[in-house]
Amino acid sequence: MPDNEPAAEVDVTKEWRATHGQKSAATRLRIFAAIAWVVAIGGEIVGIVLLRQHKFDHGNLGLLIGLLVGIAIFAIAGNLLWKAANKQDPASRADRARFLFQNQLGAIITLIAFVPLLVLIFMDKDMDPKNKKIAGGVGVVLAGLAVLIGVEFNPASVEQYTQDMNKCAAEIKANQPTTDCSPEVAEQAKAIAQDSATVAEATKTAANPNGLDVVYWIAPENGAKKSSTPHVFHLCSAVSPMRGKTVHQGSVTQAYSENATRITKQIPMEQKQCGFAAATPDKAATPQAG
């Protein structure tokens, strides 16, 4: 995209998007959740095999209950990890099928990890009736608890975070306490506001005494909407790191939306290269470490 053409990405203060860090954290949490669920289902398979081998017909009640408890522990752990991942990178309500599946997957997996084994326990004609009643009752209670924890009653969504971001951005702009900012959007909104103020301070001129909210960054690779790794944004396209590169320009919030989330550390040098008057010592902006 040419230097004089504005970036096409939607301003993140109008449409929330998970940051690269949030997506990475969500991916890690989902991997750990999947591992926990695999262990839970593995415990169920062990229970089914032992049940079919008649290991619980006249004893080993403690072993069976231990398997049920183990299944519950790993199912619940997976559910909690999955919920935490959804808070970092939620689905959109616009995609109803994905929204429902992503938020209730924990409950679904928990049912898979319990129901077949419980059905076989209650249908086993060779198991001691007393042991069957105890094991079945414990299994039902554990399954109900795990499913309840797996159900997402108030799921996060892109739309909810968009509302939070809008409120947060409005409060920051008005210099009000950010009481409406959720943890998932507050830090991003504050970082955008601080970087915007730094850029405005660095770009003040006689013609623009309030400075500018225009920065420049290397375009995402291969025409992607967002860079796979965090990039630095600069005061103009004439600075050394931008030479020979495809450059996007826009507001700080637009830069963030394309994963250009690190402000240049060479502001005095870039002020000279870009033709901005150097900031006076008492007004010099100190950029946030990237």
What is the predicted pLDDT for the residue at 150?
A: 94
What is the number of domains present in the chain? Answer: 2
- pTM (whole model) above 0.75: no
What is the predicted pLDDT for the residue at 21?
A: 81
Q: How many CA atoms lie within 13 A of 280 on its CB side?
A: 3
User: Residue 7: inside a domain, yes or no?
Assistant: no
Q: How many CA atoms lie within 13 A of 104 on its CB side?
A: 9
Answer with the one of 109, 126, 156 that is the final residue of a domain: 156
Closest by CA to 141, choosing from 87, 76, 90, is: 76
Least confident of 85-89, 123-127, 131-135, 224-228: 224-228
Percent of the chain with pLDDT over 70: 84
Where is mean pLDDT largest: 7-16, 55-64, 174-183, 281-290?
Answer: 55-64
| Residue 249 dihedral angles phi and psi, to the nearest 5° | -135, 155
197 and 228 belong to one structural domain: yes
| Mean pLDDT value across residues 49-73 | 91
Q: Which domain holds residue 31?
A: 20-156
What is the predicted pLDDT for the residue at 105?
A: 95
Burial track 137-175 (b if 16+ CB lie within 10 A, e otherwise): ebbeebbeebbebbebeebbbbebbbebbbbbbebbeee
Which tokens in the block code for residue 148? Answer: 């309840």
Average pLDDT, the chain: 82
What is the predicted pLDDT for the residue at 14?
A: 52
Judged against a pLDDT cut of 70, whether residue 215 lies above it is answered with yes
Answer with the one of 156, 186, 207 that is the final residue of a domain: 156
